[in-house]
Amino acid sequence: MVNVQISPSTSNQFEPTIAVNWLNPSVMVAVAVDFRTGPALIGLYKSIDAGATWSTTLLPLPTGFAGMESPHIDYFFPNSFVVAAHAFDADGLSGTIVTYTSNDNASSFGPPVIVNQGFGQFVNNDQVVVIADKAGSSPFLGNIYTGYTHDYNTQFIPGNTIFFSRSQNGGNTYSGPILLSSVNEFEEFPGIAITLNGVVIVGWITQPPGASSFKTSVSQDGGATFGPETMIASVVIVPSPLPGYQFRCLTFPALAGDTSNAPTTRGNVYAVWQDFRQGYSDIFMSISTNFGVDWSTPKPIANSPVGSQNFFPAITVSPTDGAVFVSYYTNRVNPPELDVFLATSRDGGNTFTNTRITTTSFSVAGLTVIGDYIGNGVVPQTGRLVTVWTDTRTGVENIWFGDNQ
């Protein structure tokens, strides 16, 4: 196992995601929040040699904004990448969702495109995920979908809700936002999966006050309309911060669909999340075999020692053979220090093997933020799973890269 530092050591970086060019897997692109010039910006890290070496740059800040964070990246055919992020003004308000699109393997990006505009102290759009439809069976191939949290701060509609927008023209423009969750509940950060025939499933986890649960809504028409919400399972929200730590630990959903030709798993949809139902944070999974209509009873997949803390799961499904990969932070090796582990299933989520990705444990002592997520990508030709995460082995928070080879 090889770990590679991909971001500069001169500043802190966190909240990484990664995407791989499916047609030319030597090209890998990651993004993260990057403080190298002072304010929070989006760092762009690119490898053209399958992750051995990396170049770094910063995406330009949209006019009128003071910083950006919460980045997410995905790939779409043939040599395109789309980056979504939350841009904010000098007061940290007026959060606007923007995307940047490259059609030349991330050598250059077009100007930022506004997906949903914020409005001063009243509406803050944040916590965005972006995914492009790459399913070969899909009539909506090339559609780009964004889900994000719409934070209201008014006397009439307080709280957080989940909104969704789509682009049908390669990220040049986006549809008007669709409200998916109830304004009477509070949600953080959606997850999105695409499965066979372009079926889109968006999920969210309701937060306290009140009972918490993992809910989804399904679109059969490429994100134009969505059906009624379905509950996957009740959730016991992980304390934030985790016992013994100081960093924020929000509970988010992660979803992925199997678009492979694997005869027994093709079309499966997998939902993962961190859950405190056992008295410690563990990674749970539920599976749908009918495009999000019904879901299996949740089960833990980390096989971690009782009492260890396992959190921030990221899921990817191989489009070649349907292998399921879930990476996550854990303190199972050398608590309270952290490692990144990978849970792998090659039988449709029935059984998992767990292996260590990090080559050394790292300390998060005294840190109040380590970012709210990590990221995965897969090389279809070989089944190689690549992971990016925040790591402090250099003494500051940097982005590191590793794989399952």
Q: pTM to 2 decimals?
A: 0.95
Residue 105: count of CB within 10 angstroms of its CB: 19
The pLDDT value given to residue 374: 98
The pLDDT value given to residue 55: 97
- What is d(CA 311, CA 129) in angstroms, rounded to the nearest whole number? 18
**Which structure tokens are listed for 208?**
């306290």
C-beta of residue 225 within 8 angstroms of C-beta of residue 175: no
- DSSP string for residues in 118-148: -BTTTEEEEEEEEEE---TT-TTTT-EEEEE
- 13-20, strands of its sheet edge to edge: 13-20, 28-34, 41-47, 55-58
List all residues 6 or more positions away from 27 whose beta carbon is below 8 Å from its beta carbon: 20, 21, 46, 47, 48, 79, 105, 106
Cα four-point dihedral sign 284, 289, 295, 296 = negative
Buried b (16+ CB within 10 A) or exposed e, 347-370: ebbeebebebbbeebbebeebeeb
The pLDDT value given to residue 88: 87
First to last CA, the chain: 6
- What is d(CA 357, CA 378) in angstroms, rounded to the nearest whole number? 15
How far is the CA of 269 from the CAs of 154, 257, 316, in angstroms? 36, 4, 11
Residue 227: count of CB within 10 angstroms of its CB: 12
pLDDT tens, residue by residue, 229-238 = 999 999 999 9
Residue numbers of the chain with a pLDDT score lower than 50: 155
Q: Mapping DSSP to helix (H, G, I), strand (E, B) and coil, where does residue 58 land? A: strand
The pLDDT value given to residue 180: 94
The pLDDT value given to residue 249: 97
The pLDDT value given to residue 95: 85
pLDDT tens, residue by residue, 337-359 = 999 999 999 999 999 999 999 99
* DSSP category for residue 8: -
- What is d(CA 369, CA 361) in angstroms, rounded to the nearest whole number? 18
* DSSP category for residue 111: P
